[in-house]
Structure 1
Amino acid sequence: MRYYEDMAVGDVTEHGTYEMTKEEIIEFAEQYDPQPFHTDEEAAEESIFGSLAASGWHTASACMRLLVDGVLEDQASLGAAGVDELRWKQPVYPGDELTVRVETIEKEPHPTDPTRGRVNSRMTGINQDGEAVISWVGLGMVQRREPLDEAPGE
């Protein structure tokens, strides 16, 4: 199990492979993002994408799955306070294979809870050609192995 104390700014890891299938792209979009370029191959050909493209929310969800399987199952994660800087950098198409890269960019004790710390990480979804397709900063909360005697600043 990796705790707050085990993490360092500058740590970089890569995790998993997730193939985006045509069927899954359409199914996800029909339920959550039913825009024609996500659900209809003919309409998608006439769009700026030129063919069926995954919803950005689907891409984010696939990358989240890679994070859960590759990072969070072995981390003393307490969830997250949110995300910043979410960007869809380029389309994801059927057959694309995604990997997620995690870089720890900031770390500090929680200001009021001595049992946890804040660990912010830049997450980048990368396709099979090494191109970034999505990125965001996760505002993570991680349990401390040994809680501070008191909250910082007290």
Structure 2
Amino acid sequence: MKFSEFQVGAVITHPPVVVTEEEMLAFAKLYDPQWFHVDVERAKEGRWGGLIASGWLTCSMAMRMAVDSALHDSESFGSPGLEKLRWQAPVRPGDALRLEASVDSKRISSSRDDLGIIRWSWRMINQRDEQVLELEATSLFDLGGASA
């Protein structure tokens, strides 16, 4: 989507993607090797009653879904960060996660007329309609035509 296509109040969605145990383990071994993410047997005895995905994997999946559903052909060139990040429920092998991203605000920078700014809220929801992730992101768009 181009910056001009984003509308305040719009909800951008991505269909469910199934999280596999193999994907969870591979990600966690590289980036978040805590026992409840990487040790299947020990995780069965832990607080969560089984293996759970790293929250950072959930964030990465949300980012991929946002790119696929909105940012892939846009003028987006980065983000100054997030305002809020919450992991609300554990993600388990076999969960099917979908993205719902609500456009909260859209504006042109007051100091640069070639800079578009979108603030949006992302939610990841599993197949039981439980929200597992919530974040508020800001995305920056080059409206001056500079190439990436």
**TM-score, normalisation: structure 2:** 0.90
Aligned partners of 1:16 and 1:70 also within 8 Å: no
Whole-angstrom distance in 2 between the partners of 1:47 and 1:105: 38
Matched, 1:51 2:50: yes
Q: Which residue of 2 aligns with 1:16?
A: 15
Q: Which residue of 2 aligns with 1:25?
A: 24
Q: Which residue of 1 aligns with 2:37?
A: 38
Q: Which residue of 2 aligns with 1:80?
A: 79
Q: Could you tell me which amino acid in structure 1 is paired with residue 2 of structure 2?
A: R
Q: Structure 1 unaligned segments of length 5 or more: list them.
A: 147-154
Q: Which residue of 1 aligns with 2:96?
A: 97
Q: Which residue of 2 aligns with 1:2?
A: 2
Q: State the 4+ residue runs in structure 1 displaced beyond 3 angstroms.
A: 143-146
What's the offset of the Cα at 1:7? 2.1
What's the offset of the Cα at 1:46? 1.6
Whole-angstrom distance in 1 between the partners of 2:26 and 2:135: 24
Whole-angstrom distance in 2 between the partners of 1:83 and 1:31: 23
Residue-by-residue CA offset, 1:1-33 (whole Å, 9 max, x unaligned): 422x33222111211322111111111111111
Distance 1:25 1:14, change over 3 A: same
Q: Which residue of 2 aligns with 1:150?
A: none
Q: Which residue of 2 aligns with 1:62?
A: 61
Q: Could you tell me which amino acid in structure 2 is paired with residue 76 of structure 1?
A: E
Q: Structure 2 unaligned segments of length 5 or more: list them.
A: none
| SS class of match (2:104) | strand
Residue-by-residue CA offset, 1:112-151 (whole Å, 9 max, x unaligned): 21112211000011111221100101111124489xxxxx
Whole-angstrom distance in 1 between the partners of 2:108 and 2:79: 14
Whole-angstrom distance in 2 between the partners of 1:142 and 1:74: 11
| SS class of match (2:29) | helix
Whole-angstrom distance in 1 between the partners of 2:15 and 2:114: 30
Aligned partners of 1:96 and 1:128 also within 8 Å: yes
Aligned partners of 1:15 and 1:71 also within 8 Å: no
Q: Percent identity?
A: 37
Distance 1:16 1:79, change over 3 A: farther
Structure showing greater radius of gyration is: 1
| SS class of match (2:8) | coil
Q: Which residue of 1 aligns with 2:118?
A: 119
| SS class of match (1:74) | coil
Whole-angstrom distance in 1 between the partners of 2:101 and 2:143: 20
